[in-house]
Amino acid sequence: MNERGRFITVEGSEGVGKTSNIEFICHWLQSRGMEVVRTREPGGTPRAEAIRKLLLDPGHDEPLDDDAELLLVFAARAQHLATKIRPALARGAWVICDRFTDATYAYQGGGRGIAASRIASLERFVQRELTPDLTLLLDMPVVDAQQRLQSRLEGAGGHRDRFERERLAFFESVRRTYLERATAEPERFVVIDAGRSLDEVQAMIAEALDDRISPWQ
């Protein structure tokens, strides 16, 4: 029987550079012989991606209730866990996920104001014992992250989704919640200064991976 794989999550608000750094993490692990499964939340499977579309749709014909948003997030997560994450871990793969439940505490908890206890009850129900082995939090000031996001959207000709249209105060609450969680769980989190150059950020990520992965091998 294969040894259980490892579950690494990458967290952070819009504009912090998760996409490029997740690519770096995947290549770093693959170069060391690991099977890597890259995924994201909400989403990761066809049905969960359909839920993602509902969550990100900025349509104004029917505002999405905060409780409905929370339940949709966990519905997508349940499907994602059952059909992709748990099977990959069971066969010994390393799962790299763009956001996971810490994002729910940050966005629906910090941003929307939903009580952490309500999120925790759904977390226990959906995830049972499963939590990430390592969480890399890409952190930078909200104003700087928003400027990066705007530059990226202008360069790609894209439009802001429902979350990206939130006010700065929302993202300040998201960032504060993320940092509070990192402080509370230093054995799982590594906070990365995402405001530095890409080379510096990736050097910090590589150092974190070296430090955390060596004891697992």
Cα-based torsion angle of the residue sequence 161, 173, 118, 105 in order, rounded to the nearest 10 degrees: 70
Nearest to 10 by CA among 211, 202, 215: 202
In a domain, 58, yes or no: yes
In a domain, 2, yes or no: no
Whole-prediction pTM value? 0.92
Binding-site sequence positions: 12-19
pLDDT of residue 1: 41
Cα-based torsion angle of the residue sequence 11, 8, 27, 17 in order, rounded to the nearest 10 degrees: 0
In a domain, 64, yes or no: yes
Domain span at 58 = 7-216
In a domain, 62, yes or no: yes
Alpha-carbon span 196 to 206, nearest angstrom: 15
In a domain, 102, yes or no: yes
Binding-site sequence positions for ATP: 12-19
Alpha-carbon span 33 to 177, nearest angstrom: 35
Q: Which residues of the chain have pLDDT under 50?
A: 1
In a domain, 29, yes or no: yes
DSSP three-state, residue 206: helix
pLDDT tens-place string over residues 15-71? 899 999 999 999 999 999 999 999 999 999 999 999 999 998 887 778 899 999 999
CATH code at position 53: 3.40.50.300
In a domain, 39, yes or no: yes
Average pLDDT, the chain: 92
Cα-based torsion angle of the residue sequence 67, 40, 137, 142 in order, rounded to the nearest 10 degrees: -60
The set of residues, in sequence order, having a beta carbon less than 8 Å from that of 199 and lying 6+ positions away, is none
| Counted domains in the chain | 1
Alpha-carbon span 2 to 107, nearest angstrom: 35
User: What letter does residue 214 receive in the DSSP assignment?
Assistant: G
Other CB atoms within 10 A of residue 77 CB: 24
pLDDT of residue 187: 95
Alpha-carbon span 65 to 147, nearest angstrom: 28
In a domain, 1, yes or no: no
Secondary element (H or E) of residue 190: strand 189-193
